[in-house]
């Protein structure tokens, strides 16, 4: 059974988790770029899916609906982490603990010898504007077609094409500048 609601068949929650947890985890990991945080956010995604599944209307494919929840949860998590990092300056001034180091890059799809290059790429992806970053990650890491990305982002296919074009150009510029600086 596919995780989509074709012919009105909605899989059980357990089937849905079994079919989508790896894909949801990889999507979340691409956005939050920390393995532990990705596991936590993935768990939150499926908690929300479980709570909201009875109200699923079938306006989109079930997998698209789950991806939309995953993307929103991951972006919300990333925004709250950024707010914590930028806020609380009194806490940082009077704190006796050391500053938090950035997480070590890890992604299950990256082999060891490509880890450094992948870290540079994911750092560049992380600097993209939010919608460009999400569109790029869904297309490149999940092989999601533009039409489905448009549903997840609740936008048009043309807008996704535009987001992808700008994302590619921004990545090209960032990586060109990065390698130019590091080769000198």
pLDDT for 169 beyond 90:
yes
Question: Where exactly does CATH 1.10.10.10 map onto the chain?
Answer: 109-184
How far is 157 from 145, CA to CA, in rounded Å? 9
Express each pLDDT in 21-38 by its tens digit: 999 999 999 899 888 999
**Burial of 157 per CB tally in 10 Å (0-12, 13-18, 19+):** middle
The band of 1, judged by pLDDT with boundaries at 50, 70 and 90, is very low
Q: What is the pLDDT of residue 163?
A: 96
Express each pLDDT in 37-87 by its tens digit: 999 999 999 999 999 988 888 888 899 999 999 999 999 998 888 766 655
Express each pLDDT in 94-145 by its tens digit: 444 444 434 444 555 555 556 677 778 888 998 999 999 999 999 988 889 9
Q: Coil, helix or strand for 78?
A: helix
Task: Determine the topology of domain 109-184 in CATH.
Answer: Arc Repressor Mutant, subunit A (1.10.10)
Task: Please state which CATH class domain 1-104 belongs to.
Answer: mainly alpha
Question: Where exactly does CATH 1.10.1740.10 map onto the chain?
Answer: 1-104
CA atoms within 13 A on the CB side of 98: 3
Tell me the whole-structure pTM to 2 decimals: 0.72
Task: Outline where the chain has alpha helix (H).
Answer: 13-32, 35-52, 62-86, 89-94, 115-126, 130-142, 146-153, 157-183
């Amino acid at each position: 059974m596919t995780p989509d609601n074709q012919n009105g068949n909605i899989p059980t929650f357990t089937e849905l988790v079994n079919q989508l947890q790896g894909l949801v985890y990889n999507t979340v990991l691409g956005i939050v770029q920390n393995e532990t945080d990705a596991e936590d956010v993935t768990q939150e995604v499926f908690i929300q899916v479980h709570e909201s599944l009875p109200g699923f209307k079938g306006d989109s494919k079930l997998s698209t609906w789950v991806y939309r929840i995953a993307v929103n949860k991951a972006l919300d998590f990333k925004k709250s982490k950024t707010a914590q990092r930028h806020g609380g300056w009194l806490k940082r001034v009077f704190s006796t603990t050391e500053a938090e180091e950035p997480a070590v890059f890890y992604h299950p799809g990256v082999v060891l010898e490509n880890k450094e290059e992948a870290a540079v790429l994911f750092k560049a992806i992380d600097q993209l504007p939010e919608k460009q970053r999400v569109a790029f990650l869904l297309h490149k890491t999940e092989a999601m077609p533009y039409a489905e990305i448009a549903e997840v982002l609740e936008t048009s296919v043309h807008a996704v094409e535009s987001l992808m074009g700008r994302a590619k150009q921004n990545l090209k510029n960032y990586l060109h500048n990065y390698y130019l600086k590091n080769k000198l």
